[in-house]
Structure 1
Amino acid sequence: MQFERGHMMSERKMICAFSSDSRELYKADVFRSINLPKGHVVHFRYKGKYVEDELLRKDVKWWEGKEAVIFFTKGNSLEKSDSKPENIAIRKATIVSFSYDLEKTDVCHLYMKLSDFCRASIPSSTQHTNQPNSKFLSELPLEKFDVVTWKDCIESVSDSFQGKVFTHIVGLKTHKAEDVSLKYDKGTKTSYYELVQGERYTMEMATGNPDVNSCKTELSRSSDEVNFHCITPIETTVQYDLKQIPLSVKKLDSRKAYSTINLCPVTTSIQYRKEETKEYREFSTQIEIRSRQSRTASVMFGFASALLVAGLGLGRVAVKDPISWLLGLVALGLVIVSASLLHHFFNKK
């Protein structure tokens, strides 16, 4: 079911995936859910005791395609079981898969494809036994559902993430300004962008810094095949901004290669007259990049190689007695064209 911004949805039941502020690890799950692009798959983990009993009895196939809403549970306390936390809707999602490892770890694994940012509330009449602090993965009725902007979402939770900059990856574009679509690997259960080696791209990135703090965003990558053409760390001196980050992918000898782009919040301070940088690694946002050789380049290489073979073959025929100067010129032309193509497209000498 699709929803447009400003369109309220009547009450209906949806899967509610809660992540609280009781631990930094749980807060980081919410932080990444806000930062990652639409269509990216996120992975939430829950102990069996925190999942609604009725849901645990469902077959794993039942979960696939179910609509869900990610909630941030604010004010959740591990010490006080009677605390009354506030549940803030963050983002709508579609469940990709669910599994429950009862025997080994007693942990449920929930994979969700991110969709629109949203606002929703749980009716006050809903029983609390299936809500935090008792349960953190439940099927609950929701009311006042509305699609909102990324800025609206940040402002609803920013006081719980003070001192950090939100960095939302809007998407990637080719040098022709065409959108690069996200792909999903069912085997590894990861989302990734497939890029072509030797091509240039632009990463569109929105930054949110409501309290205009000194936090910056450090861009890094796991291998040298992906290069950023910007100054890092990226400083944000306004509350909200949209940045274009140029990046390129190197040509490699291998047909496929894998890399990871990492966006990490960092702060700098002066300690004993020396500048120190603190990285909030648990709040890092990662995007996988899989690069491949250009199919057009492969065809061009084959064509140039065929021209070379044809030119050499004609050359051998041309030098036989009697010598054919016409065939010799044709052979020379084929070799020259082949060498030019190989040098221009593949730097072969």
Structure 2
Amino acid sequence: MTSSGVATTFLVLLALAVLIGPWTLGTANRLDRLHVRTDAAWAALDAALARRAVVTRAVAAVCGKPELRAAADRAERSTRPDREAAENRLSALLEALDRSVLEPALAAELSDAEQRVVLARRVHNDAVRDTLALRRRRSVRWLRLAGTAPTPSYFEIAEPGGDVEASTLTQRVSARVVLLDADDRVLLFEGFDPTRPDELFWFTVGGGVEPGEDVRTAAVRELFEETGVEVSDDELVGPVWKRHAVFAFDGLNYAAVEWFFVGKVEAVDVDTSRFNEIEQQTIRRHRWWSVAELAATDATVYPVQLAEVLPGALVGWDGTTRSVR
């Protein structure tokens, strides 16, 4: 290369550095501020949950309900991976509580503590949403601007309604299918809660079990309705996993039990033409994920442990149904 060519290359690189450098620095600073915001929001949510536990213990003492106190203690001691389940268990017990027996001041304090949890959770999840949105940009991932900061995650907890009777948890049994292709990639849908359209998450094929239907039959039916894939009952392996979850969707609170089966196809064109109305409204797209992609993604995926437990399902099933989150 001639000296003029070297000079030209140097000038081009310098121009790129001048153009890209400020953007890179600005984006990195913005991402850092978002991580700080998310950490602060979690601290506020943790404090709100702790206050609810304290008030709950006072309520338990007045009502003589040791199970309520035990649930508050368990929620307060739980590590982050188990916190959602413990807090949702406490929420369910509080929903069922007869508050007419409480002194007005204590009932008001409990209501206030619950509402502070609701507000803190919404602030936290808003912060997580904004942070994930920036982390998922291709340029941010390519330049690794997130550094070693851990990926934030939403905190899923059912929100109490104004009317205790109307806001009790709806029991839901679901059959889900971990559908694998020839490359051992799993099919996931991306969707959202209609009340929180900005909080996107990925999930497996499947849905609710209909009255009089067993979970395996439901899994076969849901697989066909959501993907067009037809299999017989004995072509699905499992149930390999079982998941308990309490969540809010479209304004209702659910206590769900999900049973997971594994199915495999060599090649398939996913047909979503049989989606029901709510699926058409809330599911944006689908794609096949490898284990490595699941382990590396910043996206929210359910079950949360999918990347961790999927390798075991690929090896084969030993007949034991394991609990997952």
TM-score (norm 1): 0.24
Q: Which protein has the bigger strand share?
A: 1
TM-score (norm 2): 0.25
Q: Which protein has the bigger helix share?
A: 2
State the structure with more CA Rg.
1
Q: Relative contact order (alpha carbons < 8 A, sep ≥ 6): 1 or 2 greater?
A: 2
